[in-house]
Amino acid sequence: MDFKLRPIKETDIDNLVKFANNPKIAANLTNKFAYPYTKEHGLNFIQFAMSNTPAHVMAITINDELVGGIGIHPQEDIQCKNAELGYWLAEPFWGNGIISKAIPQMVEYGFKTFDINRIFARPFGSNYASQKVLEKAGFKLEARLSKTLFKNGEFQDELIYAIRKAD
């Protein structure tokens, strides 16, 4: 399935709310990604996404319509050579290899655009699909922190995957 990455736009609001308002997506993300996902959440996210130059967050699009998002978030202070990768995809598009192809594009963009040498992602221990796409993209499991996350009333393992510029 053909897709493109591009910066988030204000006109993405309707698709963002339509696709992000899904408990299956929210279940694998931090609580900042709310469920239910309202227009207010979407407008706040778009404002955040558009506030950074160069862009940190890209829309995953099909026919220029937002169907997901992927972001690279440079860290600060002593973590300044690191950036966190985060992503989500609308459920109707799961299983089409989109995230598997979007991650390497975003990694390349991150290393070219920001003064970093490591990109990391922190999937939940129960999110096997995310672990597989990270491994496919060349990320290595650096740590498994047992029952450190608390989501929807239960503890989850936090996995830390990373890829380095030298890789």
6-56 pLDDT tens trace: 999 999 999 999 999 999 999 999 999 999 999 999 999 999 999 999 999
pLDDT at 119: 98
Domains of the chain by residue range: 4-164
Output the pTM of the full model. Answer: 0.95
44-69 pLDDT tens trace: 999 999 999 999 999 999 999 999 99
Contacts of 46 (CB under 8 A, 6+ apart): 8, 9, 10, 12, 13, 16
Whether the upstream peptide bond of residue 54 has omega within 30° of 0, thus cis, is: yes
Q: What is the DSSP letter of 116?
A: -
CATH number for the region 4-164 comes to 3.40.630.30
C-alpha 6: how far from chain center: 14
Exposure string of 126-138, with b = 16+ CB inside 10 Å and e = fewer, is ebeebbebbeebe
Distances (CA, A) of 85 to 38, 39, 58, 154: 24, 24, 11, 24
